[in-house]
Structure 1
Amino acid sequence: MTATAADGNVATARPVSVPRGYRFELVKLVSQWRIRLLVLACWIAPGLFVAAVSRQSTLPVDTLFGRWMHATGWAGPLVMLGFAGTWALPLLTSVVAGDIFASEDRLGTWRHLLVAVRSPRRIFAAKALASLTALLLLVVGLACSSVVGGLLAVGNQPLVGLDGHLLTSADAAGKVLLAWVCVLAPTLALAAIGLLGSVALGRSPMGLLLPAVVALGMQLAQMLPLPAAVRLGLPSYAFIAWNGLFTGPAQLRPLVIGVVVSLVWAVIATVLAYALFMRRDFTNATYDGSGRRAVTAGVLPLAGVVAVTVAVVAATTGATGSGIEQDKVQRSLATAFAHLYRMQTKQLNRPDVTEAQLKTTATCDKGSIRVAAEGPGNDWRCVVSWHLPGVEAAGTAIYQLDVTPDGRFMADGDGPKEVNGYFLVRTPTGDAPNPLWQFDGNVELLRTAKE
């Protein structure tokens, strides 16, 4: 009778539901001291960093929006976003997603987990969802902390965009929020790669390091003078493409492409991780992963995804070469100068002029007529010309440009002194930073429909 009852209980036992497994995995994650420490750091450290830097006399002017951290609290979250996309988010995905499956291998608890849950599919779903929830909590902490730190330290002032136009506080807040939301896509891609490495490599340390290593490789690729199609075909470009939100009109095509490519990577890497997990032999307590399987089921498929995405981007956008061309640089520089000239005019209490009245143009080359005026480099030399109403002679200013492969440029004024040759301007209320001395801009790598 007892044996019959026991057999009946085994027969009616059902797998644990995904929500219950998800709660269990989430509790396991947040009970780890390193996860708790990361959560605490992400919710406190960015705010302290932004507030401290904003009150320093020396600003990180080599970082996008770093030169505006004295002027508005909305610059700090963008400086933190640039740092997070380069270093913080890849490391966070490694610690969370890269270890979610490997931890069971190190502890030897797979058999206990399978007996308790009774469904490998639900185990995979619960672990994947728990790791994504933890990552979302960390990203939200980075964003909220840096916003609060910037607003408390500097205030809710307007923000100067990458084309020199002034964004209202409300507009800046919306764009900063949208920029942080957009980087969730490449974060998901790295998290999926972490899941794949954790499943394929078992307790091997390479599984834990895989998202960071892949992110570093893609960042190095973004620093090289690669064709625009290759650049946009990598999910890492979405960590950069949010720059286009801060131009007028917004450069949305590269951002949309970067987000879509990242989501494609996230889906494919997750599917590969799931397929490997379902084929795994859980009876082997000494499983250390399979390098051959990692290559055939991980590296090669993702390499194929790169080839396909690059081909699709090149075919649908017509992108050729670096995307950095003479007419684009000239147009971007002239637009930014016109906006910032109006800002300087207001500082000096001069009569206001519009961009249409200024008729600003720029002529750029790369130091020699023998060198084609295209591609990245720090040898761009530009002469900006503009006209004031009622003044017959045109004004001119010289700039040295350092254009990076991703389209960002830093313009360094080279005279005349009263326009852009000095970092301060004398205003009726005292000396103030000269907006025309040095400023950042952005060249869209893809041609617009009008072009």
Structure 2
Amino acid sequence: MTVAATRAAPVATPVPVSRAYRFELVKIVSQWRVRLLVLACWIAPAVFVAAVGEQSTLPTDTLFGRWMHATGWAGPLVILGFSGTWALPLLTSVIAGDVFASEDRLGTWRHLLVAVRSPRRIFAAKALASLTVIVLMVAGLALSSTLGGLAAVGGHPLTGLDGHTLTPSDAAGKVLLAWVCVLAPTLALAAIGLLGSVALGRSPMGLLLPVLAALTMQLAQLLTLPVAVRLALPGYAFIAWNGLFTDPAQLSPLLIGIAVSLVWAVSATALAHHLFVRRDFTNPRYDGIGRRALTRAALPLAGLLTATAVVVGATTTASGSGIEQEKVQRSVATAFAHLYRVQTARLHRPDVTEARLGATAACTKGDVRAGATGPGNDWRCVVSWRLPGVATTGQAVYQLDVHADGRYVADGDGPKEVNGYFLVRTSTGDAPNPLWQFDANVDLLSATPKG
């Protein structure tokens, strides 16, 4: 009997993720709009910061904008505030929001599946490639703005949000840490972009989803929401980095914001992966899950928001808006004491410590004199202090515009010799008056002082 030799048919093995990742990375960076965005991220911030350093006016309506002539470390913080509001949502939309939808528009899914032979590895490669490009852009924004600021102004000490002075080395470390912290909410927006790109197919709504999500969260931050709901939004970490620049640092809101952002990033990515691997790639007319996106994508994220708000509310001291009279008074008095020492140094007067100054503040909100709460531009504070060897008590008045996120602007309202004018006369000429107007922050999660 003749036995025919048989050979086992070769088994098609999937392409390694590393090869698929390199392929996807090349596809992304080969797009002209992506190249332009990368180039803009690495050049535009330096040009902007250097140009502002040469101007006579400053963007005082932005956080740290009033210090851009004083130190180069203010520049990257101004860019960081702008990036969290506009640049990073746009970048995540262009990269993560289009990484899957582009294959739908071009009709190349079947070719890609034949080449890679694993939907899971395709998803991993695309997610990692988009993440790499996004991180490259964030690094460009941070490095470019820092180099531009240092080149234009120099690495001088930076004034923090409570008026205390940070040495150049401390400022450098906290600027770097602030940029690292915003990676977490950026990842959350990128994950939302991946989910939209998978769920909505070639629909332009998938591309716009991160921008719409970021805009919605920004509008929510303007409302008088409970602190627990505010911190449960993944975009809160775009704001909470402000707490790094107080002494002591307001870390609780920042850490909660980072944790919430990472939970959203993991959850949205896992949901996008689940929808992607269950997709029917044999249907050439597939165009996303359409109306089912509401139940299969939107509702799980709404449930996640509810769950995180409940957890934050149950595990923190958060209550109400978090803006209370005692907190505002303590913040204003602390910032005034720090900045008074800065003014004293500029006027070449004998130094006095914050403890000996003993600054206190009495604040009211409109007609409410006791138990005032909530944001508004009708806060008024009278700051009192005592100088060693001087019998009379000094007083200064400030009008406050307190935002819902805890940040406020204190505008000096006299006397003229202390805070009523934007310049002070020194032995070497006029200099900016640090007590005329300043930014500061109320810790929404801090405990209200007793008594």
Normalising by the smaller structure, the TM-score range is: over 0.9
Return the offset for 1:145: 0.5
What's the counterpart of residue 241 of structure 1? Answer: 240
What's the counterpart of residue 373 of structure 1? Answer: 372
What's the counterpart of residue 350 of structure 1? Answer: 349
What's the counterpart of residue 96 of structure 1? Answer: 95
Residue 139, structure 1, aligned to residue 138, structure 2:
yes
Which residue type is aligned with residue 53 of structure 1?
Answer: V
Distance in 2, matches of 1:435 and 1:367, equals: 26
Distance in 1, matches of 2:416 and 2:215, equals: 41
What's the counterpart of residue 129 of structure 2? Answer: 130
Q: Spell out, residue by residue over 1:157-209, the C-alpha distance to the aligned partner (whole angstroms, 9 max, x if none).
A: 00000000000000000000000000000000000000000000000000000
Distance in 2, matches of 1:183 and 1:108, equals: 35
- SS of residue paired to 1:99: coil
- SS of residue paired to 1:12: coil
Which residue type is aligned with residue 233 of structure 2?
Answer: L
| Kept after mapping to 1: 8 A contact 2:93/2:210 | yes
What's the counterpart of residue 193 of structure 2? Answer: 194
After TM superposition, list the pairs within 5 Å mapping 1:169-318 onto structure 2. Answer: 169-318=168-317
Residue 26, structure 1, aligned to residue 25, structure 2:
yes
Distance in 1, matches of 2:247 and 2:369, equals: 33
| Kept after mapping to 1: 8 A contact 2:363/2:369 | no
Q: Which is worse superposed, 281-290 or 425-434?
A: 281-290
Q: Which is worse superposed, 381-390 or 285-294?
A: 285-294
Return the offset for 1:287: 1.2
What's the counterpart of residue 444 of structure 2? Answer: 445
Give % identity: 76
Residue 154, structure 1, aligned to residue 153, structure 2:
yes
Residue 434, structure 1, aligned to residue 409, structure 2:
no
| Kept after mapping to 1: 8 A contact 2:317/2:447 | no
Which residue type is aligned with residue 133 of structure 2?
Answer: A
What's the counterpart of residue 382 of structure 1? Answer: 381
Distance in 1, matches of 2:375 and 2:57, equals: 27
What's the counterpart of residue 401 of structure 1? Answer: 400
- SS of residue paired to 2:224: coil
Distance in 2, matches of 1:30 and 1:262, equals: 26
Distance in 1, matches of 2:27 and 2:293, equals: 27
CA 1:450–1:267: 2 relative to 1, 3 Å: farther
CA 1:203–1:8: 2 relative to 1, 3 Å: farther
Distance in 2, matches of 1:246 and 1:107, equals: 48
Per the normalisation by structure 2, the TM-score is 0.97
Structure 1 vs Structure 2 CA RMSD: 1.4
Distance in 2, matches of 1:339 and 1:289, equals: 57
Q: Spell out, residue by residue over 1:46-88, the C-alpha distance to the aligned partner (whole angstroms, 9 max, x if none).
A: 1101111121111010100000000000000000000000000
Per the normalisation by structure 1, the TM-score is 0.97
Unaligned 5+ residue runs, structure 2?
none
Distance in 2, matches of 1:361 and 1:87, equals: 38
Which residue type is aligned with residue 337 of structure 1?
Answer: F
| Kept after mapping to 1: 8 A contact 2:326/2:448 | no
Distance in 1, matches of 2:372 and 2:11, equals: 74
- SS of residue paired to 2:96: helix
Distance in 2, matches of 1:190 and 1:449, equals: 34
Distance in 2, matches of 1:121 and 1:262, equals: 24
- SS of residue paired to 1:240: helix
What's the counterpart of residue 331 of structure 1? Answer: 330
Return the offset for 1:314: 0.5
